[in-house]
Every structure is written in structure tokens, then in C-alpha cells.
């Protein structure tokens, strides 16, 4: 089996478990207390998925667009989806936790 496939499955499982752990208010409070004790400031809970955004619909699109309009819309949405994937990959690869695994491998 491919090593990167195993790493990907392990990372997604780990992310799900950590996310479920911090859904509990008791665990969140424990973490916030530990963070404040260690760093001397409150932890800033940020959105876990900063790349979420909606594709804005083109208001000038006709009700029944022709081939040219459909083609332009297809490529516009394809570019937007590519940008979204690029942001996701950048966000995922920026975690210091994952960097330690890449350095070991």
C-alpha cells in the first residue's frame, strides 16, 4: 500500500478524533486553562476551515444560456474550485504537527 495513502488516512482519522475531543466543553475549558497557564494569554479559537467561501453566481447569466455562456460558467467554476483546493492544501500543509512527520520520513 502507498505510504502517502496510509498517512492521509491516519491524518484524517486523527483530525476527526481531535475535533470530536474539542467539541466537549469540558475538554475545551481544560485546554484553554492549560494554554493560558503556559502562554499567559487566552487561546483564540479560529474557524477550522478558513477556505470556505461560496462561488458567487453571475447575475448577468441568462435563464437559458447558450453554449458560450455555459462554457464560460464551467471554466469560471473550475477555476474557483481549483483556488479552493489550493487554499485547502496550503492550510493542511501549514500545520507544524504534520511537518514533524515529513522531517522524520
The label of the residue with cell 466543553 reads 25
SS3 44: coil
Strands (E), 1-105: none
How confident is the prediction for the chain on average, in pLDDT? 77
Q: What is the pLDDT of residue 51?
A: 47
pTM of the complete model: 0.39
Q: Which 8-state DSSP code applies to residue 41?
A: S
- 58-100 pLDDT, tens per residue? 556 666 778 888 888 888 888 888 888 888 888 777 777 666 6
- What's the pLDDT band for 55 if we cut at 50, 70, 90? very low
pLDDT at 49 over 80: no
Amino acid at each position: 500500500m502507498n505510504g502517502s495513502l496510509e498517512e492521509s488516512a491516519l491524518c484524517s482519522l486523527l483530525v476527526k478524533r481531535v475535533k470530536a475531543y474539542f467539541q466537549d466543553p469540558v475538554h475545551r475549558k481544560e485546554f484553554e486553562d492549560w494554554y493560558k497557564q503556559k502562554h499567559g494569554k487566552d487561546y483564540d479559537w479560529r474557524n477550522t476551515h478558513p477556505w470556505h467561501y461560496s462561488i458567487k453566481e453571475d447575475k448577468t447569466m441568462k435563464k437559458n444560456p447558450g453554449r458560450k455562456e455555459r462554457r464560460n460558467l464551467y471554466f469560471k467554476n473550475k477555476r474557483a474550485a481549483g483556488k479552493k483546493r489550493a487554499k485547502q492544501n496550503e492550510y493542511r500543509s501549514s500545520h507544524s504537527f504534520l511537518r514533524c512527520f515529513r522531517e522524520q520520513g
